Amino acid sequence: MRVYLDNAATTPLDAEVLKQMYAVMENTYGNPSSIHGHGREARTLIERSRKTIANLLHCSPAEIFFTSGGTEADNTAIRCGIIDKQIKHAITSRLEHHAVIHTLEAMQKNGIIKLSFVDTDSRGNIDLQQLETLLQDNERSFVSLMHANNEIGTLTDIARVGDICEQYNAVFHCDTVQTMGHYAHDLSKLKLHFMVCAAHKLHGPKGVGFLHVNHKIKIKPMIYGGSQERNMRGGTENLYGIVGLAKALEIAYAEMGQHQDHIQGLKTYMINQLTENVPGISFNGETDPAKSLYTVLNVSFPEMEMADMLLFNLDIAGISASGGSACSSGTDIGSHVLGAIGANPSRPSVRFSFSKYNTKEEIDFTVAKLRELCLVNA
């Protein structure tokens, strides 16, 4: 049996998405910027996709800009939002994705901003009272806080963060890569300026995403070139990817309720089975369904011989999981998220992340293999 439990890193492409992309690849090859019939046909598909996404998120199509993915969208929001608005102070947490932290740290190093980190507790919850204090004590700030952590799954109340930011005239950027397509986002109610998406996290294609830019804020492009994306992002649009992204998000919204129930059921089941069968385990981040992303479960196992081989042994057994953010896999650098919440570095931790395609049988197989590995290495 082969079991894929690394869906927070990337998800399998939905068959309906592939079908729609293939039809476009086969029949629509014009450059969307060309004014002839072939180009207009391609442009129509892009604008139809933009409208589909905007309707799902309750925003204007003019607020959706297509990118190469979440990292480009994060960089654009942060760099352009700070520089164009002449903001000198930024606030984030040490749990953010490196696309956020490294960008802000580079801007601090170059003297563009002063950077503050808001505290988190041992479960990864943001100290919102301290956030408010930081906003009070500084001039206009740029706040970047993710909706759900990609390693431990803890959710942040972004509606409340948006209210706080509005009170202090702060610019609010939210990395929603892990929650887009898994929760319904109503941008007519959320008080934020920037939101991002990467298609491959919701059964869409790799190499495409979007940045939502609230109409109340105006920024200049990060990538210059042609006049694509209404002069906001130079470069010929990824037509097939954009069509696939819109289809994937459309499917995600249509099936959201049943998939939430199914996936949360698998997560709860795995928590119970691990607790019963593998002594000495603990869970990183929140496990309360109301406070935790239902697709992610981060588990710390007891100290064992050859702890660094746990993921390797799972892979040998046919189980794909992650030791943290996939963006750091293949390096010997420990998880910055687990370090920030004070997890014991001598205990091996594994992130299991689920999708609509996973089954209870796969969970049983995985738990049995984990029990075997922990007993052998105890």
- Residue 331 pLDDT exceeds 80: no
Task: Give residue 210's pLDDT band: very low, low, confident or very high (50, 70, 90).
Answer: very high
Question: What mean pLDDT is predicted for residues 157-175?
Answer: 98
Residues 95 and 241 in one domain: yes
Name the residue range of residue 156's domain.
Answer: 15-254
Average pLDDT of the residues in 95-123? 97
Cβ atoms of 172 and 212 within 8 Å: the answer is no
Do 7 and 23 fall within a single domain?
no
pLDDT at 72 over 60: yes
**Co-location of 51 and 117 in the same domain:** yes
Cα 105 to chain centroid distance, Å, stands at 20
H, E, C per residue of 272-324:
HHHHHHCCCCEEECCCCCCCECCCEEEEECCCCCCHHHHHHHHHHCCEECECC
**pLDDT reported for residue 151:** 96
Say if CB 93 and CB 117 are below 8 A apart.
yes
- Mean pLDDT of the 270-274 span: 98
Task: Please enumerate in sequence order all residues whose Cβ is within 8 A of that of 295, keeping only pairs 6 or more positions apart, or say none.
Answer: 7, 8, 153, 178, 182, 263, 267, 353, 354, 355
The answer to which of 129-133, 199-203, 283-287, 302-306 has the lowest mean pLDDT is 302-306
CATH number reported for the structural domain that contains residue 329 in this entry: 3.90.1150.10
* Last residue within a domain, chosen from 211, 233, 254: 254
Confidence of residue 377 (pLDDT cuts 50, 70, 90): low
Give the pLDDT of residue 326: 38
In CATH, what number is assigned to the domain containing residue 48? 3.40.640.10
Last residue of a domain, one of 188, 221, 254: 254
Same domain, 246 and 275: no
Residues 215 and 284 in one domain: no
Q: Are residues 281 and 246 in the same domain?
A: no
Does 49 share its domain with 163? yes
pLDDT at 328 over 60: no
Query: Which one of 193, 221, 254 terminates a domain?
Result: 254
Looking at the fold, whether 76 and 215 belong to one and the same domain comes out as: yes
pLDDT at position 327, please? Answer: 44
Q: Which residues are catalytic?
A: 327
Q: How many angstroms separate the CA atoms of 338 and 344, rounded?
A: 8
Q: What confidence category does residue 330 fall into, taking pLDDT thresholds of 50, 70 and 90? A: very low
* pLDDT at 13 exceeding the cut of 60: yes
Question: Are 76 and 180 found together in one domain?
Answer: yes
Whether 150 and 227 map to the same domain: the answer is yes
**In the structure, what pLDDT confidence band is assigned to residue 158 with cuts at 50, 70 and 90?**
very high
Q: Are residues 215 and 308 in the same domain?
A: no
pTM reported for the whole predicted model: 0.95
When pLDDT is averaged across residues 231-258 and rounded to a whole number, the result is 97
On whether both 262 and 237 belong to a single domain, the answer is no
| Nearest residue to 281 via CA among 266, 298, 294 | 298
Q: Report how many domains make up the chain.
A: 2
Looking at residue 192, its pLDDT comes to 96
Whether 47 has a pLDDT exceeding 60, the answer reads: yes
Contact between 208 and 68 (Cβ < 8 Å) = yes
- Residue 329 is predicted with a pLDDT of 46
User: How much is the mean pLDDT over the chain?
Assistant: 95
